[in-house]
Amino acid sequence: ETGHLDLILDRYKDKITTCPKEKGWVSENMYMYQGFWHISNNEFSVQTTMAMQDTYKAHPTDIYLITLPKSGTTWMKALMFAIVNRARYKGNPLSSHPLLINNPHKCVPFLETKIFKNTPTYVDDECSPRLFATHIPHISLPQSILDSGCRIVYMSRNPKDVLVSLFHFTNKLRDESRARMPFDEAFELFTKGVSPYGPYWDHVKGYYNMSLEYSENILFLTYEDMKEDTLNKVKHLAKFLGYPFTNDEEASGAVDEIVRLCSFKTLSEANKHGNLREGVPNDAFFREGKVGDWTSHLTDEMSVILNKITREKFCGHPISQ
Ligand code: A3P
């Protein structure tokens, strides 16, 4: 089967030569496709995006999480997995929960890696609903995902924390042969829109608009809101996903249990050791888990520049309210 997939991807290899190229944050290059910078490594590539646009068929019962990298993907993967599968693990000792044994990225795979790379995951293919994540920008999202009527959760995070988180994460993952990217350079690239699946603002705005258009199918969340009122947001999320908590569950503390299971503290403990894949330690996805860590990295001048860009990009848009 993998050979077959390689053949499909091969079809798109030549197209990439016409894509504009920029320096990558982890691997050498990023490529611009349909106005966004796509990363390029063993698992993610423009070819994969193109192949998915042409061939991917979503199921109406699928659930998708869409984010920009470093917006809280790992956290949301855990929450969505725990909510949707809670009946399966009821009665089991909590210590045997898959999220305490597997990285959340194994429990909820990226669409790109699961479909086109056959990366081993914890979940089996028969699992329903299928839970997938992706970073693909709205403009490149396979049409079948929208047409299927399935549920999509988009999670955004403030650009300054995304930048800081990205800076730490990508430096951790960079090949030893490449020097660490200084923060100044990361800032420069990010403001120019040259970040994984960036420009940041276009990604967020694109999905915000889409969530207005497909309001029944797309839930737009922010990392900051999730942090501020996790319990109520988790209840809302469960309802949106079609797995609402019953009154009995609420009374017996089932929501709190899921919040605790997926908390930064619990998950970072569970992911202290081992690798997700070669060169990607499990603990790379857990750093501070806070809102506003940017204050310890950005100078006042940098903050003013980012505010200005955000104001201009979101000017007159409901997202700025
Ligand atoms: P920081 O680098 O600011 O700490 P992603 O999962 O999209 O790669 O995002 C990673 C960011 O989410 C990191 O932010 C990480 O610490 C934070 N994070 C990971 N797990 C979390 C959790 N359970 N709760 C809150 N934040 C979490």
What's the chain's Rg over C-alpha atoms? 19
Q: What is the mean pLDDT of residues 31-51?
A: 92
For residue 142, the model assigns a pLDDT of 95
Residue 120 has pLDDT above 70, yes or no: no
Compare 319 and 98 and report the one with higher pLDDT: 98
Give the tens place of pLDDT for each residue, 64-94.
Answer: 999 999 999 999 999 999 999 999 988 777 8
pLDDT of residue 43: 84
CA-proximal residue: ligand 1, atom 27 (nearest): 289
Position 123 pLDDT exceeds 90: no
Our answer on whether the CB atom of 79 is closer than 6 Å to any ligand 1 atom is no
Tokens for 303, please give them.
Answer: 């903050």
Unique residue bearing structure tokens 């998950």: 267
Pocket of ligand 1 contains residue 261 by CB under 6 Å: no
Distance of alpha carbon 298 from alpha carbon 290, whole angstroms: 15
Atom 10 of ligand 1, residue of closest alpha carbon: 70
139 Cα to the center of ligand 1, angstroms: 26
The confidence band for 126, taking pLDDT boundaries of 50, 70 and 90, is low
Contacts of 195 (CB under 8 A, 6+ apart): 25, 37, 163, 166, 189
User: What is the model's pLDDT at position 92?
Assistant: 77
- Band (pLDDT 50/70/90 cuts) for residue 124 is low
Nearest CA to ligand 1 atom 8: 70
Q: Is the CB of 110 under 6 A from ligand 1?
A: no
Tens-digit pLDDT profile for residues 160-171: 999 999 999 999
Task: Measure 76 CA to ligand 1 centroid, in angstroms.
Answer: 9
Instruction: Please tell me if the CB atom of residue 285 comes closer than 6 angstroms to any atom of ligand 1.
Output: yes
Q: Which of 83, 100, 165 is the best mutation target for the ligand 1 pocket, counting ligand atoms within 8 Å of the beta carbon and taking the most?
A: 165
- Coil, strand or helix: which one is 117? coil
pLDDT tens across 251-281, in order? 999 999 999 999 999 999 999 999 998 889 9
What is the model's pLDDT at position 125? 64
Q: Which atom of ligand 1 is nearest to the CA of 169?
A: 2
Q: Which of 106, 103, 37 is nearest to 69 (CA)?
A: 37
pLDDT band of residue 139 (cuts 50, 70, 90) is very high
Tokens 């999480």 locate to 65
CATH architecture of 59-320: 3-Layer(aba) Sandwich (3.40)
By percentage, how much of the chain surpasses pLDDT 70? Answer: 95
* 105 in catalytic set: no
pLDDT tens digit string along 99-113? 999 999 999 999 988
Distance 111 CA to ligand 1 centre (A): 20
Ligand 1 neighbourhood includes 236 CB (under 6 angstroms): no
**Euclidean distance between the first and the last CA atom of the chain, given in angstroms as a whole number:** 48
Residue whose CA lies nearest to ligand 1 atom number 25? 289
- Rounded CA separation 66/137 (Å): 9
Distance CA 63, CA 56 (A): 14
Q: Within the chain, where are the H helices?
A: 2-10, 46-55, 73-84, 98-101, 104-107, 111-116, 143-147, 159-173, 183-191, 200-213, 223-228, 230-240, 247-251, 254-261, 264-270, 300-313
**253, 261 contact by CB (below 8 A):** no
Alpha-carbon separation of residue 204 from 53, 108, 196, 267, 291 (angstroms): 20, 22, 13, 26, 18
3-state secondary structure 57-107: CCCCCCEEEEECCCCCHHHHHHHHHHHHCCCCCCCCCHHHCHHHHCCHHHH
* Nearest one of 61, 99, 96, 101 to 78, comparing CA atoms: 99
Domain ranges of the chain: 59-320
Q: What integer is the mean pLDDT of 11-15?
A: 84
Cβ 201 vs Cβ 313: under 8 Å: yes
From 48-57, 117-126, 303-312, the region with the lowest mean pLDDT: 117-126
Q: How far is the CA of 169 from the centre of ligand 1 (A)?
A: 10
pLDDT of residue 178: 84
Per the listing, tokens 């990558």 go with: 24
Ligand 1 atom at minimal distance to the Cα of residue 71: 7
pLDDT tens digit sequence for 216-237: 999 999 999 999 999 999 999 9
Query: From the candidates 38, 105, 135, 203, which is the catalytic residue?
Result: 135
Atom 3 (ligand 1): residue with closest C-alpha? 165
Q: What is the pLDDT of residues 154-211, one digit of tens each?
A: 999 999 999 999 999 999 999 888 889 999 999 999 999 999 999 999 999 999 999 9
Question: Collapsing DSSP states into helix, strand and coil, what is residue 179?
Answer: coil
Q: Is the pTM of this model over 0.80?
A: yes
